[in-house]
Amino acid sequence: GEDVEQSLFLSVREGDSSVINCTYTDSSSTYLYWYKQEPGAGLQLLTYIFSNMDMKQDQRLTVLLNKKDKHLSLRIADTQTGDSAIYFCAGNFGNEKLTFGTGTRLTIIP
Amino acid sequence: NAGVTQTPKFQVLKTGQSMTLQCAQDMNHEYMSWYRQDPGMGLRLIHYSVGAGITDQGEVPNGYNVSRSTTEDFPLRLLSAAPSQTSVYFCASRRHTGTLGTEAFFGQGTRLTVV
């Protein structure tokens, strides 16, 4: 089956860049997603990348996809306190179901 | 513009009790699913449905039932609650596109505690 892995925690100083990493075992995903979950809330789609792309930029967010290494990353430039949340990567690996990583809790240090 | 609505937001059950978690969406999405979220384990798929009258099991279906009599509603039933079912439950919906991906919209979650 599909396996999606993330580090559980990341701490970053306010104003620095945050890089959240994700690795997966199944290369058949059509899309790969990043979701953000703020405390007490559901998941909100941040951005996604189509599997035939290497990079996607959207304002402060940059998604990098290395298909050879099956590695996905999310870079948040100029990290702010409002970026504190849990970030999930997910993919639909050859089927309709979304498989999620464990989530990375991003903490911002003032 | 309600999106995905889950009720209740919080629930405490005694071991052995049954209950139904409600989920409704107003986007005419074919695909609906239920996940549970546990610390350090991400979201795990419980059951899903690709359209009215069709349901299927996900990764962790035991102890849960679902039905999909309408496109809008996808209730999750706990048959006999156990402490291991203490979790946060999320309902999600998306357009059904086969293997192509589309954005999944999530409800706000139901925090369930079984004592």
Q: How far is A74 from chain B (nearest CA, A)?
A: 17
Consecutive 10-residue averages of pLDDT for chain A (110 residues) = 86 97 84 91 89 91 93 97 95 79 94
Cβ A4 vs Cβ A101: under 8 Å: yes
Q: What is the pLDDT of residues B55-77, one digit of tens each?
A: 999 999 999 999 999 999 999 99
Chain B residues closer than 8 Å to A101 by CB? 42
Best B106, B108, B110, B111 member to test A by mutation, with max A CBs in 10 Å, is B106
pLDDT one-digit tens code per residue, B78-104: 999 999 999 999 999 988 665 556 778
- SS3 string, A26-89, reads CCCEEEEEEEEECCCCCEEEEEEEECCCCEEEECCEEEEEECCCCEEEEEECCCCHHHCEEEEE
Q: What is the pLDDT of residue A1?
A: 57
Q: Is B35 on the interface with A (CB under 8 A)?
A: yes
Cβ distance B33 to A97 less than 8 Å, yes or no, reads yes
pLDDT at res. B99? 53
Calculate mean pLDDT across residues B40-58.
Answer: 92
CA gap A13, B64 in Å, rounded: 43
